[in-house]
C-alpha cells in the first residue's frame, strides 16, 4: 500500500475541501462541518498546523492543530479525520509529530471519546499516547452521525514525543481486576480497589447509539464513573488490552517508615 502524500494547507480552495471532507466523515450538512474553511485559514496563517493527506491527488484525510499550554512545548490537535482502513490517520499523526518536533515541541494533546474502542487502541497502542484527564460532556450534546446525540465525554490524551513510537501491546499484570465488564452488551460494575483495574468497552458504541440508546447511555455513565473516577483519584492508564479494555494503575501508598 502506497503511503499518502501529506502537505500543509493554506489555500482557501484546499481548506474548503477539508471542510467538506469533515462534513462527510461526521455526517453533517456541508454548511455545518465540524470546522469551517475560514477558521482553518486563520489558524494556518497564524502558523498553526493544518495538513491534508492525498492519494492520487484525492483528499483522503486532514488534521488541524494549534499551539497550547505550556507555551513553546505543546501542540493541541483539535481534529483529525480520515478514510478508514488505509493507514491515513496514522500517516497524518506521524507527520504532525515530525512537524511538532521540528519546532522543539515536547508533546501533542488531543481529546477523544473514551467509549470508541478503535480510537482508544489507535491512541494508546499505535501511538503510545496516555489519557491525562476525563472531561465530562466537554462539547455538550452532539447530534452528528458519529455521536448520535450522546453527551460528549472526552479523555484528554497526551503524546510524549520523546517516547518510542509505537510502544507495542500491553500485558496484564497479575492481580488485575475488572472495574467494569462487558456482560452481554451491558456494563457490569466490579471493584476498583485493586492496584490494577480493567475497564471494558462495548463492541461498537456508535452502532449501539442507533440500536439501543439506553444501553449506550448506560455505558457512558458507567465509564464516566469508573474511568473518570479513577483518573480523578490520580490513577494512570498504562495501556489498552486486547483491543477492548483500559488497563488502569492506581497510585500505590508510600511504605510505612
pLDDT > 90 fraction of the chain, expressed in percent and rounded: 82
pLDDT computed for residue 151 by the predictor: 87
Cell of 9: 494547507
Q: How many residues belong to the chain?
A: 257
pLDDT computed for residue 169 by the predictor: 59
pLDDT computed for residue 128 by the predictor: 94
pLDDT computed for residue 147 by the predictor: 63
Can you state the percent helix, strand and coil of the chain, rounding each to 5? Answer: 30, 30, 40
C-alpha to C-alpha distance for 193 and 67, rounded to whole angstroms: 38
Average per-residue pLDDT for the chain: 92
pLDDT computed for residue 227 by the predictor: 98
Q: Could you tell me where the DSSP H helices lie in the chain? A: 12-26, 37-45, 88-102, 117-121, 205-211, 213-223, 229-232
Low-confidence ranges of the chain (pLDDT < 70): 1, 142-149, 165-170, 253-257
Domains and CATH numbers, the chain: 5-160 (3.40.630.30), 177-249 (no CATH)
Amino acid at each position: 500500500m502506497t503511503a499518502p502524500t501529506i502537505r500543509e494547507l493554506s489555500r482557501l480552495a484546499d481548506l474548503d475541501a477539508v471542510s467538506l471532507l469533515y462534513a462527510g466523515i461526521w455526517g453533517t450538512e456541508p454548511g455545518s462541518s465540524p470546522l469551517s474553511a475560514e477558521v482553518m485559514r486563520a489558524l494556518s496563517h497564524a502558523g498553526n498546523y493544518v495538513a491534508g493527506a492525498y492519494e492520487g491527488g484525492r483528499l483522503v484525510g486532514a488534521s488541524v492543530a494549534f499551539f497550547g499550554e505550556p507555551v513553546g512545548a505543546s501542540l493541541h490537535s483539535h481534529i483529525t479525520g480520515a478514510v478508514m482502513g488505509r493507514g491515513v490517520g496514522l500517516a497524518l499523526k506521524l507527520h504532525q509529530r515530525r512537524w511538532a518536533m521540528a519546532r522543539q515541541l515536547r508533546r501533542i494533546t488531543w481529546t477523544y471519546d473514551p467509549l470508541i474502542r478503535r480510537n482508544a487502541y489507535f491512541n494508546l497502542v499505535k501511538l503510545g499516547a496516555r489519557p491525562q484527564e476525563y472531561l465530562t460532556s466537554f462539547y455538550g450534546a452532539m447530534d452528528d452521525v458519529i455521536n448520535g446525540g450522546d453527551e460528549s465525554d472526552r479523555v484528554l490524551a497526551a503524546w510524549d514525543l520523546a517516547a518510542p513510537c509505537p510502544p507495542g501491546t500491553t500485558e496484564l499484570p497479575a492481580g488485575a481486576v475488572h472495574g467494569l465488564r462487558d456482560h452481554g452488551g451491558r456494563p457490569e460494575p466490579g471493584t476498583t480497589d485493586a492496584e490494577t483495574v480493567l475497564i471494558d468497552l462495548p463492541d461498537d458504541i456508535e452502532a449501539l447509539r442507533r440500536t439501543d440508546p439506553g444501553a449506550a447511555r448506560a455505558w457512558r455513565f458507567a465509564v464516566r464513573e469508573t474511568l473518570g473516577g479513577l483518573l480523578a483519584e490520580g490513577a494512570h492508564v498504562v495501556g489498552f488490552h486486547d483491543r477492548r479494555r483500559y488497563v488502569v494503575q492506581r497510585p500505590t501508598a508510600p511504605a510505612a517508615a
